[in-house]
Structure 1
Amino acid sequence: MDDDLQNLPALRAIDKDNLDNSPPSSAPEGIFHAAMENYTHMENTATPPKLRGPHAILDDQEPNYGVIQEPKLSNNSDPSQDAPKESPFASTQKFAETIMNAQLGYKEAQFALGDIYKNGEGVHQDDQAAMCWYQKATDQGLTASQYKIGLMCEKGQGVIQDFDIAMHWYLKAAKDGDLAAQVKVGNMYRGGHGVAKDFSAAMDWYLKAANQGHAFAQYYVGDMYHHGQGVPQDYTMAMECFHKADDQDDSDAQCSIGDIYQCGQGIPQNYSQAIKWYLKAAKQENARAQTNVGHWYHLGQGVPLNLSKAMA
């Protein structure tokens, strides 16, 4: 994202008549645009009803654009021992340029500003403002923002939760090649959210992303084989897919490998191997794996009986 911003032109006026102002192409988009009209004040930072996030910078106020703290690492190391990561928007001047370029109509800056609001990067977190800027980038055909809008519609962040509209945006992004959106379309078909439940369609979308190396998609393909959803049940294929996802440290896949060893599905039952895989996933804070590890320590299966570890 930082590189994209560096490639933006210097601040200058542009011909806004050349921007894509075509009407919404479908009913879901029409509903969405109508809803977002409630937030058109975001365009005019000079006279907003109240200061929201980075708009404060245009009123001679100084929000905190400091460092973003590193999250707690999965190996339990202390993040305070690592060098802090600077926000790409730590520079007040650069931050102001992002705002101005977004207002001038540059879609990369609009998307970046949406992320700033969504993540609360040095500003007050604001889902409605994030949605507004994502929509502006989407109106100019930015695929990544289509996915973000779908995600927020699915979760009800900044707008009323609506699976139909979420599916609409996921599909647009998925058809444009966004791997995360392809996985989401698969999830929507699998769960019957915003569309009729269809395991075969879900599998097709998972495979699109899995064949391009997406770890979550590889896990989901394995899970479909594991449960026989959309394809005949096949533990060998499930294990193969889980191992591909494990190569990218997917903890759900690691936990599922443990399940297969525990139950002896397609391979001899092996408690020692099961606990090995559960422990690997548990170290990444996978909740299901942590529960399984505690249960096994409580029973003394695959590991020596250890009630203190079972309760940990």
Structure 2
Amino acid sequence: MKLFVPIRSFTSKAKLLNLISASLIFISAVFGLSQLAQASESAASQAPIDDGSIAAQYEIGAMYAAGEKVPQDYAKAAEWFHKAADQGDATAQWNLGIFYNSGLGVAQDSFKAFRWFEQAANQGDLMSQYYLGTMHEYGRGTKQDYDKAHKWYKKAAVQSKATIQNNFDYYYDNETAVDQANIEALELLQKSVDQNNPTSQNNLGVRYLKGNGVAQDYKKAFELIQKSAVQNNRYAKRNMGMLYMGGDGVDQDREQAMKWFHKACGSDDPMSCDLYEALFLMDYEVIASLVMSQES
């Protein structure tokens, strides 16, 4: 029984857009932290005055979004972000994409969200490029188009964000992809692994285990999955249990398998709890058979 699981930061691909929608209100308050937080810090020290500049309009919008110096008001935040976005500010355009995608301060409108993400993405905004990829992939606010999804995922991934690089790999590992696309995905996945990203370490390990796009190598698979597991990745912990249970890339060791299943169970992985219990009960079956054999 093989249960090796590639994973992503955003849980399952099918749930990605729901997760995005559910988390938008939090993203809008702290997204990136390097963008809204910076504007909020400025607002906290001195409330900006609208002088018609992009910077002032954006900072006023950020002030209302974060509730700094003024009561939090997403509608007013959207109004000010609109002013800055209309002048071509990519960060304000990204914010409006978030607001329209979630209905935050404005009527929910996936098509308008797509339009604002697209404008920001064309200016090189990383997260807008990534969101644009998801919208093309799922046909949200636009016609479903896997080629365009690939284009925008790649643009975001090459900006060296480990999580997005890993998601780019996951996309091609689970879609019908040409060889060249798979090569690109592997290159980006390796780049993410080099940044010590535990999710990517596990996923590349699974690829080596399966021989998926790389030469099958159980030793490399074990090394990568182990690196991920010691960084507390629950799926890698489960995979470590499976490796020890099956003797793949390491000597078969039931105690080590139980140890890793127990660790993964403690990290809220129900399947690992079941696997741990199954191995534990196996001892009692052996004991019972020995007792019965002595009594006969």
Give yes or no for TM over 0.5. yes
**CA drift at 1:260:** 0.4
Query: How far apart, in 1, do the equivalents of 2:260 and 2:268 lie?
Result: 13
Secondary structure of the equivalent of 2:214? Answer: coil
CA 1:251–1:119: 2 relative to 1, 3 Å: farther
State the TM-score, normalized to the length of structure 2: 0.65
Q: Residue 278 of structure 1 aligns with which residue?
A: 261
- Amino acid of the residue matched to residue 35 of structure 2? D
2:187 aligned to 179, 204, 209, which one?
Answer: 204
Where do residues 111-260 of structure 1 align in structure 2 (5 Å cutoff)? Answer: 111-119=94-102, 126-193=109-176, 195-196=178-179, 200-260=183-243
Query: How far apart, in 1, do the equivalents of 2:194 and 2:115 lie?
Result: 33
Query: How far apart, in 2, do the equivalents of 1:255 and 1:166 lie?
Result: 31
**CA drift at 1:226:** 1.5
Q: Residue 3 of structure 2 aligns with which residue?
A: none
Where do residues 66-145 of structure 1 align in structure 2 (5 Å cutoff)? Answer: 91-92=72-73, 93-94=76-77, 96-119=79-102, 126-145=109-128
Secondary structure of the equivalent of 2:35? Answer: helix
1:293 and 2:273 are equivalent in the alignment: yes
Secondary structure of the equivalent of 1:213? Answer: coil
- Amino acid of the residue matched to residue 297 of structure 1? E
Give CA deviations for 1:34-56 in whole Å, capped at 9, x if unaligned.
Answer: xxxxxxxxxxxxxxxxxxxxxxx
Q: Residue 4 of structure 1 aligns with which residue?
A: 35
CA 1:134–1:210: 2 relative to 1, 3 Å: same
The size of the alignment, in residue pairs, is: 234
Q: Residue 21 of structure 1 aligns with which residue?
A: none
CA 1:300–1:247: 2 relative to 1, 3 Å: closer
**CA drift at 1:284:** 3.7
Asked whether the equivalents of residues 135 and 145 of structure 1 are also in contact (C-alpha less than 8 Å), the reply is yes
CA 1:244–1:4: 2 relative to 1, 3 Å: same
**CA drift at 1:146:** 0.8
Asked whether the equivalents of residues 188 and 194 of structure 1 are also in contact (C-alpha less than 8 Å), the reply is no
The structure with the largest helix share of the pair is 2
Query: How far apart, in 2, do the equivalents of 1:280 and 1:123 lie?
Result: 45
Secondary structure of the equivalent of 1:236? Answer: helix
**CA drift at 1:153:** 1.7
CA 1:241–1:218: 2 relative to 1, 3 Å: same
Query: How far apart, in 1, do the equivalents of 2:150 and 2:135 lie?
Result: 11
Gaps of 5+ in 2: 1-30, 43-47, 55-60, 286-296
Secondary structure of the equivalent of 1:112? Answer: helix
CA 1:212–1:301: 2 relative to 1, 3 Å: same
Gaps of 5+ in 1: 16-56, 58-64, 66-85, 306-312
**CA drift at 1:119:** 4.7
**CA drift at 1:136:** 1.7
CA 1:233–1:181: 2 relative to 1, 3 Å: same
Secondary structure of the equivalent of 1:261? Answer: helix
Range that drifts further, 243-252 or 190-199: 190-199
Query: How far apart, in 2, do the equivalents of 1:278 and 1:162 lie?
Result: 40
Query: How far apart, in 1, do the equivalents of 2:135 and 2:67 lie?
Result: 23
